[in-house]
Structure 1
Amino acid sequence: MTLLSLASVTASYGASQALFGVDLDIREGEVVALLGRNGMGKTTTVKAICRMIPASGSMQFAGQDLMLLPSHRAARLGIGLVPEGRRCFRDLTVAENLICAARPGEWGQAEVETLFPRLAERRGQRAATLSGGEQQMLAIGRALMTNPRLLILDEATEGLAPVIRQEIWAAVARLKSASGLALLVIDKTLKELKAVADRAVVLERGRTVWTGPIAELTPDLSTRYVGV
């Protein structure tokens, strides 16, 4: 069953148009990689889905028209975002960051701490005192506490030490195998993406230029559109 569907989506920042025709769909329980070079519209697409910027075209989530909804109502439908740059509440503790986002469902504080044991160890610490990797785990945990149907990870491993990146990828793999959660993942590391993603959608200058099983994303296509 299709959970999220975008067709011919356009979006602008004031007079500057950023999306010129994005087509994307995600099924229940599917992991989709959103790829493209920097500045090609990936984060703008995420902002449009989360209703953080105005957009035109067609966007449906769980049978409802996203275009009609403000951002908080889109979130309540079941869209969880782990934004680029983490954006934890710095003056709140780890536990407070998690609790403030909590909604009823499968994911609670105990489940998040099982996924990321470091968060249990740092439960009483202020988010500002955590390492970058720990803050990223907290951002993912906070999004899971909303019990979303779709989790969006925007550059979740960017700038992290290799050992922490592997912990994040291991968590993504567990999320895929242990739940019916759908994921939309933006990242630059194709090797790790190919291990967890079912399909890929590639953007070029604000348009969808390729979509298909990620195993069919050839080195020629990667070089042409992704730059790796």
Structure 2
Amino acid sequence: MSALLEVEDLTAAYGASQALFGVSLSLGEGRALALMGRNGMGKTTTIACIMRMMAARSGRIAFAGHDLARLPAHRAARLGLGLVPEGRRAFRGLTVRENLIAAARRGEWTLERVYALFPRLEERAQQRSETLSGGEQQMLVIGRALMTNPKLLILDEATEGLAPVVRAEIWSAIRALKAQGQSILVVDKSLRELAEVADDCVVLERGRDVWHGTPAALTGDVAQRFLGV
């Protein structure tokens, strides 16, 4: 059975500065893959190439049976890629409900289902997103991505900079999504939380995929060498 997402020998650059050197990864349907590495090692660049927000120099990106190489970003997203980018990027001038509706596509994810996952969003439904706390804004951005009914949910540092109690709530939601069969590509630094979600891990170092394996194997010397933990 073919993978939902396949990235093979991906290279990318910012001008004359090469950022990715032959990155490969594979993610099966209904599985969760952790993309890991220290800051500046190429994780966000890899995601930008997958989402077609950045053109790769070479390599292959296939998603749900489609070659993404020549597609513009909006067409790639419509194939079922849902991104929660770094930072909290809700539409500031819109209410919570308006943010969610703005992204809605037909499918199983509805307002009611998002509110069930994040009850606080229902409580704040008529508030403008700019009045929300940082954690509530992140819940909103995750909810908005789910309203696109993605085949693959991509989470880039979704809990970065949040209070521990909010981080715990968001990780609980991610675990629930995985249990429901949602395919997930997640970038994060927390081995403990990732180990509860991810089936597989890929570690990047200086733009190269240097380690592939399960979370259980990413311990001791391996973790210290590549992640500094």
Question: 2:75 maps to which residue?
Answer: 73
Deviations, residues 175-196 of structure 1 (Å, cap 9, x unaligned) = 0112x22100100111110011
Question: 2:63 maps to which residue?
Answer: 61
Moved more, 13-22 or 35-44: 13-22
Question: 1:108 maps to which residue?
Answer: 110
Identity %: 67
State how far apart, in whole Å, the 2-side matches of 1:227 and 1:67 are: 34
Structure-to-structure mapping, 1:3-22, within 5 angstroms: 3-22=4-23
Offset of residue 17 of structure 1: 1.1
Deviations, residues 30-55 of structure 1 (Å, cap 9, x unaligned) = 01100000000000000000000010
Deviations, residues 193-224 of structure 1 (Å, cap 9, x unaligned) = 00111110000100100111111112211111
Deviations, residues 57-88 of structure 1 (Å, cap 9, x unaligned) = 01100111010111001100000000000211
Question: 2:168 maps to which residue?
Answer: 166
Question: 1:151 maps to which residue?
Answer: 153
**Structure 2: which 5+ runs fail to align?**
none
State how far apart, in whole Å, the 2-side matches of 1:78 and 1:108 are: 16
Q: In structure 1, what residue type is equivalent to 2:178?
A: K
Q: Secondary structure at the match of 1:211?
A: strand
Paired residues in the alignment total 227
Q: Give TM-score, length-normalised by structure 2.
A: 0.98
State how far apart, in whole Å, the 2-side matches of 1:219 and 1:58 are: 33
State how far apart, in whole Å, the 2-side matches of 1:146 and 1:175 are: 15
Question: 1:41 maps to which residue?
Answer: 42
Question: 1:124 maps to which residue?
Answer: 126
Q: Secondary structure at the match of 2:79?
A: helix
- Quick one: which of 94, 99, 102 aligns to 2:101? 99
Offset of residue 227 of structure 1: 1.3
Question: 1:193 maps to which residue?
Answer: 194
State how far apart, in whole Å, the 2-side matches of 1:172 and 1:132 are: 18
State how far apart, in whole Å, the 1-side matches of 2:26 and 2:119 are: 33
**Structure 1: which 5+ runs fail to align?**
none
The reply on whether 1:226 has 2:213 as its aligned counterpart is no
Q: In structure 2, what residue type is equivalent to 1:53?
A: M
Q: Secondary structure at the match of 2:99?
A: helix
Q: Give TM-score, length-normalised by structure 1.
A: 0.98
State how far apart, in whole Å, the 1-side matches of 2:52 and 2:129 are: 27
Q: Secondary structure at the match of 2:172?
A: helix
State how far apart, in whole Å, the 2-side matches of 1:102 and 1:209 are: 38
Q: Secondary structure at the match of 1:11?
A: strand
State how far apart, in whole Å, the 2-side matches of 1:219 and 1:47 are: 31
The structure 1 segments of at least 4 consecutive aligned residues displaced by more than 6 Å after TM superposition are: none
Deviations, residues 110-155 of structure 1 (Å, cap 9, x unaligned) = 1000000000000000000000000000000000000000000000
State how far apart, in whole Å, the 2-side matches of 1:45 and 1:57 are: 12
Question: 2:179 maps to which residue?
Answer: 177
